[in-house]
Amino acid sequence: MLLKEAVNKKIEYKAQILGLLVSSVLCLVSCVFVGCATIAPPRVAELPIQKFYINNIPYYSLTEICRHFKIDWDYDSFARQISMKKADSEVKLLMDSSVALVNGSPLDIQQPLRMHNGLTVVPAKFRELVIDRFYSRIIPQASGESALGYAIRKVIVDAGHGGHDPGAIGRTGLREKDVNLDIARRLAHLLEAKGIDASMTRSVDKFISLEERAEIANRSKADFFISIHSNSARSARLNGFEVYYITDKINDYSRALTTAQNADLHIEPASFYNTSLNLKATLWDIIYTQSRLRSIIIAQSICQAASRNMGLRILGVKGAPFYVLKGTRIPAVLVEVGFVSHPSEERYLRSGFYRQQLAEAIAEGILNVKGNRSF
């Protein structure tokens, strides 16, 4: 017994020496190749809140978090939406979604909000990503670039107006429908070159109704719909670039209810088709909310690219009740590339070179949010 113990101790001792040796070598190697920046990041104090593990990912109870940080919260069980309020900051969360809307700007919380044993739980990272910034009142900026990876594989490019509908007409006669079609063609071409399946609602000068355009997008099962337009204003001084998404001022639930009555959700399992109209409407409501968030992210990314690449005056990312956006069930934006009513912008918009630059900026904006992780 004693001998066995001594042998075991010796083995243990040898193993310890070996372990020490290996770790010193590894440290040396990492110092040489990585550099000796071994200062540990500041530790975030553990919360006195119970953690739940779902698929090895730590979660906290949302009510516990709110109680601990004294944040008012409200759960809309119908829309499955949670609003958290403190001072003048507001965070909105949607069940099963990994996107939070922080003061109107989307933020990736990395894992979705879930129900766990009857509790609403948020990923532990939520504390760092939202609460710490929320609590210290530093509002995170939405990153339209890679932070929110969203797989865009198929895009519908819509050239506004066409045929007997010329759209806006510039002071020297430039027709919006021609500008839109040329930019849309260039954009579709650029996206195709980057491996995105891009199709157009019209590739020639013909009239298509707004209903048809939305229907093309809905039938396509594409990931994203983009409508290209040129602006016009009574004042010849107004110029700039802007991107619209469907406003949240419209009643999503009544829109969802109409959709539920008319459209099939392509969601498995098949038994879903037997579920109630209310449940379908609720699901459509969630899809619409999610689509809007994605639309905002892409819209921001497009504006960033247009500003960075071309130094354009950005009028902003705005919500509006445009029919073509309202009727589209996938993430959708409408880009107003410039004002044909503004003398120099009209002149620029006549140039193929300028239209190519616009198409490139829009394509870059779309590609910047293209990722392999779904929401």
The contact set with Zn ion (CB under 5 A) reads 160, 167, 229
Instruction: With beta carbons less than 8 A apart as the criterion, state whether 338 and 231 touch.
Output: yes
- Beta-bridged to residue 75, according to DSSP, are 82
Q: Before 343, cis peptide (omega within 30)?
A: no
State which residue, 160 or 331, has the beta carbon closest to Zn ion.
160
Output the CA torsion sign for 184, 190, 193, 196: negative
Cβ 161 to Zn ion shortest distance, Å: 6
Cβ 168 to Zn ion shortest distance, Å: 6
Cβ 359 to Zn ion shortest distance, Å: 17
State which residue, 184 or 222, has the beta carbon closest to Zn ion.
184
Cβ 268 to Zn ion shortest distance, Å: 38
Cα→Cα distances 223→9, 127, 164, 336, Å:
63, 31, 30, 21
Which residues, other chains included, contact 289 with Cβ-Cβ below 8 Å and sequence gap of 6+?
79, 81, 94, 97, 252
CA dihedral 183, 186, 187, 190 (to 10 degrees): -160
State which residue, 144 or 160, has the beta carbon closest to Zn ion.
160
Cβ 58 to Zn ion shortest distance, Å: 49
Tokens read off for 172: 């020297």
Using Cβ positions, the residue closest to Zn ion within the complex turns out to be: 229
Cβ 231 to Zn ion shortest distance, Å: 7
Cβ 283 to Zn ion shortest distance, Å: 32
Eight-state DSSP code of residue 247: -
Eight-state DSSP code of residue 139: P
Please choose, from the candidates 255, 288, 158, 259, the residue with its C-alpha nearest in 3D space to the C-alpha of residue 213: 158
Cβ 200 to Zn ion shortest distance, Å: 16
State which residue, 132 or 165, has the beta carbon closest to Zn ion.
165
Cβ 112 to Zn ion shortest distance, Å: 37
Residue 275: other Cβ atoms inside 10 A: 14
CA angle 63, 64, 68 (to 5 degrees): 120
Cβ 167 to Zn ion shortest distance, Å: 4
Instruction: With beta carbons less than 8 A apart as the criterion, state whether 349 and 179 touch.
Output: yes
Scan for tokens 């007409």, then name that residue: 169
State which residue, 273 or 323, has the beta carbon closest to Zn ion.
323
State which residue, 160 or 240, has the beta carbon closest to Zn ion.
160
Instruction: With beta carbons less than 8 A apart as the criterion, state whether 304 and 365 touch.
Output: yes
State which residue, 257 or 334, has the beta carbon closest to Zn ion.
334
State which residue, 231 or 357, has the beta carbon closest to Zn ion.
231
Q: How many CA atoms are closer than 13 Å to the CA of 115, on its beta-carbon side?
A: 7
Output the CA torsion sign for 127, 289, 105, 145: positive
State which residue, 127 or 229, has the beta carbon closest to Zn ion.
229
Tokens read off for 255: 């829109």
Eight-state DSSP code of residue 59: E
State which residue, 134 or 225, has the beta carbon closest to Zn ion.
225
Output the CA torsion sign for 302, 306, 307, 313: negative
Tokens read off for 317: 């990312």
